[in-house]
């Protein structure tokens, strides 16, 4: 990046709420880059129909140009302007899960530029539930392309501080709406075929989808396969969610995970490596003298979702060489999505 920007921060509190969101929306409308909270993670927004604005997103994040963006809308109607048609199943999913953490991939109309879709003839669209996000999009009057507001490859941001850490000086503004709710990116579903395909897991699970529209296929893989040429969701082939520290995931039943983590820790200590841990509440008492952050209770994976990226960033900043992640929390529902992210972030996965 050759030009350093002066990144403005808009705190949204009750008093100045409307005025500040409106000011941020003007920056978006004029082709600028504005980060904002959604219920999943912070997004980095630009006018999805403005080629130059969207190109700046890729530049600011260091994102590969073939990794398409999710377009955020504030109503079902504004989605209709971007796609050729909405299938019966897509329509049912919108009515059931919008606003919310579900992104739908549909055939795009020509007004959606190539940069936004990475050259694909489909476009990914979502209507977020976060009120600040909805108002920002509505005031701006444009559909807003917004990937997660982190440097490419880093853990997604769940607070405004995370965004500023990665992108200060590279974006025009950020709307600070506090910590996000879910902590993991949306579920992405391709609805262009008769049997829809999940391209990325998220809070809306396969079971949730099937309860509405019947059979749904799984089209993602938890480990990256850069050699594969037929990646359906281009973003899934790149390194993801990684802090600078080396990440070791130990997954399995709680007792087994505990004893393996103790062995690993003893070994690392002997070698003089600085190790931090992301632990379930149940494991914390077993490691009183280690720097650790909580993933929440092992039977409540929604807590792991909220804590994962936050914890990875914290331990990274605390200068750990190695981060050991306790993978003994439940793998169903959103737990499946958390495992997908942590496996991608991991340099080593140990199953016990
Ligand atoms: P991010 O915005 O960082 O949450 O990433 C967006 C995700 O949606 C990436 O994994 C993309 O590959 C995926 N995606 C966006 N648009 C499409 C599309 N048209 N077809 C398939 N996947 C898409
Ligand atoms: Mg991302």
- Binning pLDDT at 50, 70 and 90, where does residue 148 land? very high
* Ligand 1 lined by 105 (C-beta under 6 Å): yes
Is the predicted pLDDT of residue 112 greater than 80, yes or no? yes
Is the predicted pLDDT of residue 228 greater than 60, yes or no? no
Answer yes or no: is 93 within a domain.
Answer: yes
Answer yes or no: is 17 within a domain.
Answer: yes
8 Å CB contact between 137 and 72: yes
The tokens describing 304, both together, are 């792991």
Q: What is the CATH number of the domain that holds 289?
A: 3.40.50.11030
Residues 204 and 283 reside in one and the same domain: no
Minimal CA–CA distance to 235: which of 148, 327, 317, 133?
148
Cα 200 to middle of ligand 1, angstroms: 8
Residues 206 and 337 reside in one and the same domain: no
Please state, in angstroms and rounded to a whole number, the distance separating the CA atoms of residues 189 and 15: 38
Candidate of 200, 226, 230, 240 to mutate for ligand 1, largest count of ligand atoms within 8 Å of Cβ = 200
Cα 233 to middle of ligand 1, angstroms: 6
Residue nearest atom 9 of ligand 1, based on CA coordinates: 235
Residues 155 and 44 reside in one and the same domain: yes
Other beta carbons within 10 Å of 31:
16
Residues 36 and 141 reside in one and the same domain: yes
The kind and range of the H/E element at 57 are: helix 51-61
Candidate of 199, 221, 224, 241 to mutate for ligand 1, largest count of ligand atoms within 8 Å of Cβ = 199
3-state secondary structure of 212: helix
Answer yes or no: is 35 within a domain.
Answer: yes
DSSP-derived secondary structure for 116-134 = HHTT-SEEEEE----HHHH
Cα 148 to middle of ligand 2, angstroms: 4
Candidate of 69, 149, 151 to mutate for ligand 1, largest count of ligand atoms within 8 Å of Cβ = 69
Residues 189 and 283 reside in one and the same domain: no
Cα 151 to middle of ligand 2, angstroms: 9
Residues 109 and 161 reside in one and the same domain: yes
* Ligand 1 lined by 234 (C-beta under 6 Å): yes
Q: What is the CATH number of the domain that holds 13?
A: 3.90.870.10
The tokens describing 224, both together, are 């990256």
Residues 103 and 20 reside in one and the same domain: yes
In the chain, the number of structural domains is 2
The tokens describing 308, both together, are 């994962």
* Ligand 1 lined by 68 (C-beta under 6 Å): yes
Answer yes or no: is 234 within a domain.
Answer: no
Is the predicted pLDDT of residue 342 greater than 90, yes or no? yes
Residues 71 and 206 reside in one and the same domain: yes
Cα 285 to middle of ligand 1, angstroms: 40
* Ligand 1 lined by 202 (C-beta under 6 Å): no
Answer yes or no: is 161 within a domain.
Answer: yes
Answer yes or no: is 57 within a domain.
Answer: yes
Candidate of 35, 65, 146, 188 to mutate for ligand 1, largest count of ligand atoms within 8 Å of Cβ = 188
pLDDT at 3: 67
Is the predicted pLDDT of residue 115 greater than 90, yes or no? yes
Domain limits for position 158:
8-218
Please state, in angstroms and rounded to a whole number, the distance separating the CA atoms of residues 95 and 107: 19
Average the pLDDT over each of 3-12, 43-52, 279-288 and give the range with the smallest value.
Answer: 3-12
CA distances from 125 to 17, 23, 81, 104, 175 (A): 26, 24, 11, 5, 21
* Ligand 1 lined by 224 (C-beta under 6 Å): no
Q: What is the pTM of this model?
A: 0.94
Residues 204 and 85 reside in one and the same domain: yes
Please state, in angstroms and rounded to a whole number, the distance separating the CA atoms of residues 252 and 352: 5
8 Å CB contact between 209 and 196: yes
Candidate of 35, 62, 65, 68 to mutate for ligand 1, largest count of ligand atoms within 8 Å of Cβ = 68
Answer yes or no: is 345 within a domain.
Answer: yes
- 261-285: per-residue pLDDT in tens? 999 999 999 999 999 999 999 999 9
* Ligand 1 lined by 69 (C-beta under 6 Å): yes
Is the predicted pLDDT of residue 104 greater than 80, yes or no? yes
Is the predicted pLDDT of residue 144 greater than 90, yes or no? yes
Residues 272 and 320 reside in one and the same domain: yes
Cα 147 to middle of ligand 1, angstroms: 8
Residues 140 and 190 reside in one and the same domain: yes
Ligand nearest to the Cα of 107, by number: 1
Residues 251 and 208 reside in one and the same domain: no
Answer yes or no: is 238 within a domain.
Answer: no
* Ligand 1 lined by 38 (C-beta under 6 Å): no
Tell me which of 200, 218, 236 is where a domain ends.
218
- 119-135: per-residue pLDDT in tens? 999 999 999 999 999 99
Q: Using the atom order of ligand 1, give the atom closest to the CA of residue 63.
A: 3
Q: What share of the chain is helix, strand, coil (3-state, %, to 5)?
A: 35, 20, 45
Residue nearest atom 7 of ligand 1, based on CA coordinates: 235
């Amino acid at each position: 990046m050759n030009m350093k920007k002066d990144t403005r921060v808009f705190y949204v509190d009750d008093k100045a709420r409307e005025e500040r969101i409106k000011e941020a929306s003007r920056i978006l409308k004029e082709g600028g880059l504005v980060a904002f909270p959604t219920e999943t993670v912070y997004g980095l927004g630009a006018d999805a129909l403005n080629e130059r604005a969207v190109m700046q997103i890729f530049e600011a994040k260091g994102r590969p140009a073939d990794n398409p963006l999710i377009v955020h809308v504030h109503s079902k109607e504004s989605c209709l302007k971007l796609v050729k048609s909405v299938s019966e199943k897509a329509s049912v999913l919108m009515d059931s899960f919008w606003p919310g953490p579900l992104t739908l991939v549909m055939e795009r109309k020509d007004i959606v530029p190539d940069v936004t879709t990475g050259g694909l003839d489909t476009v990914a669209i979502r209507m977020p539930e976060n009120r600040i996000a909805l108002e920002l999009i509505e005031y701006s009057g444009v559909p807003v392309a917004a990937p997660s507001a982190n440097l490419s490859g880093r853990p997604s941001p769940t607070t405004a501080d995370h965004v500023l850490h990665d992108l200060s000086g590279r974006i025009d503004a950020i709307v600070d709406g506090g910590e996000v709710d879910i902590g993991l990116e949306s579920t992405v579903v391709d609805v262009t075929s008769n049997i829809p395909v999940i391209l990325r897991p998220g809070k809306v699970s396969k079971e949730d989808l099937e309860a509405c529209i019947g059979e749904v296929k799984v089209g993602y893989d938890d480990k990256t396969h850069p050699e594969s040429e037929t990646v359906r969701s281009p973003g899934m082939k790149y390194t993801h969610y990684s802090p600078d520290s080396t990440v070791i995931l130990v997954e399995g039943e709680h007792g087994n995970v505990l004893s393996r983590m103790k062995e690993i820790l003893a070994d690392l200590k002997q070698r003089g490596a600085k190790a931090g841990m992301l632990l379930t509440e149940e494991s914390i008492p077993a490691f009183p003298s280690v720097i650790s952050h909580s993933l929440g209770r092992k039977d409540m994976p929604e807590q792991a979702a909220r804590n994962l990226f936050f914890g990875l960033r914290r331990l990274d900043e605390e200068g750990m060489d190695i981060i050991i992640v306790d993978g003994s929390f439940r793998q169903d529902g959103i737990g499946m999505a958390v495992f997908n992210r942590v496996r991608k972030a991991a340099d080593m996965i140990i199953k016990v």
